[in-house]
Amino acid sequence: MFDVFVIGGGPAGLAAAIAARREGMRVVVADGDRPPIDKPCGEGLMPDSRQLARQLGVEVSQSTGYEFRGIRFHGAGRTVEADFREGRGIGVRRTTLHRALVQAAERAGVEFRWSTPMSGFGNNSEMKNARWIVGADGSSSLVRRWAGLDAVRSAARRYAFRQHFAVTPWTDHMEIYWGEGCQIYVTPVGAREVCVALVSKNSELRLDGALRSQFPFLRERLPASAAASRERGAVTGNVSLRAVARGNVALIGDASGSVDAIAGEGICLSFRQAVALARCMANNDLQGYNRQHARLALRPRLIAEAMLQLDRGQLIQSCAMGVLSAQPWIFRKLLEVHVL
Ligand SMILES: Cc1cc2nc3c(=O)[nH]c(=O)nc-3n(C[C@H](O)[C@H](O)[C@H](O)COP(=O)(O)OP(=O)(O)OC[C@H]3O[C@@H](n4cnc5c(N)ncnc54)[C@H](O)[C@@H]3O)c2cc1C
Give the model confidence (pLDDT) of 282-295 as tens digits: 999 999 999 999 99
Q: Which atom of ligand 1 is nearest to the CA of 43?
A: 8
- CB 72 within 8 Å of CB 122: no
Cis amide linkage into residue 188, ω under 30° from 0: no
177 has pLDDT over 90:
yes
Residue 61 pLDDT level (bands cut at 50, 70, 90):
confident
Residue 161's closest CA among 231, 209, 92, 91?
Answer: 231
Structural domain including 281 reads 4-338
Distance of CA 95 to the CA centre of its chain: 14
DSSP per-residue string spanning 149-215: ---EEEEEEEEEEEEEE-S----SSEEEEE-SSEEEEEEEEETTEEEEEEEES-TT--HHHHHHHH-
Rounded to the nearest angstrom, the distance between the alpha carbon of 196 and the centre of ligand 1 is: 17
Does residue 160 contact residue 236 with C-beta atoms inside 8 Å? yes
| 160 in contact with ligand 1, CB cutoff 6 A | yes
107-140 confidence digits (pLDDT tens): 999 999 999 999 999 889 999 999 999 999 999 9
Which strands make up the sheet holding 4-7, listed edge to edge? 111-113, 27-30, 4-7, 132-135, 249-251, 245-246
CA distances to 142, 253, 283, 301 from 340, rounded to whole Å, are 32, 19, 27, 14
Q: First vs last Cα of the chain: how many Å apart?
A: 38
Confidence of residue 180 (pLDDT cuts 50, 70, 90): very high
Angle between helices 11-22 and 94-108 (to 10 degrees): 20
Which residue's alpha carbon is nearest to atom 11 within ligand 1?
A: 267
At 11 the pLDDT is 98
Q: How far is CA 197 from the centre of its chain?
A: 13
Burial class (CB in 10 A: 0-12, 13-18, 19+), 170: exposed
Average pLDDT over residues 175-186: 96
Percentage of residues in the chain with pLDDT exceeding 70? 100
142 Cβ inside 6 Å of ligand 1: yes
Question: Which of 286, 285, 284, 275 lies closest to 17, judged by CA?
Answer: 275
Per residue in 66-108, pLDDT (tens digit) is 999 999 999 999 999 999 999 999 999 999 999 999 999 999 9
How high is the pLDDT of residue 122? Answer: 82
Distance (Å, whole) CA 334 – CA 1: 47
Tens of pLDDT, residues 199-233: 999 999 999 999 999 999 999 999 999 999 999 99
CATH code of the domain in which 86 resides: 3.50.50.60
φ, ψ at 34 (rounded to 5°): -125, 150
Ligand 1 lined by 44 (C-beta under 6 Å): yes
Total structural domains in the chain? 1
Side-chain half-sphere of 176: how many Cα atoms within 13 Å? 24
Residue 62's pLDDT is what? 86
> What is the whole-number distance in angstroms between the Cα of residue 151 and the centre of ligand 1?
20
Cα(329) to ligand 1 centroid in Å equals 33
Instruction: Select from 6, 28, 33, 39 the residue to mutate for testing ligand 1; criterion: most ligand atoms less than 8 Å from CB.
Output: 39
Please compute the mean of the pLDDT values over residues 151-157 and round it to a whole number: 92
Give Cα separations from 278 to 1, 68, 107, 298, 301 (angstroms).
18, 31, 17, 20, 23
Pick from 131-140, 266-275, 297-306: least confident: 297-306
Atom of ligand 1 nearest to the CA of 160: 1
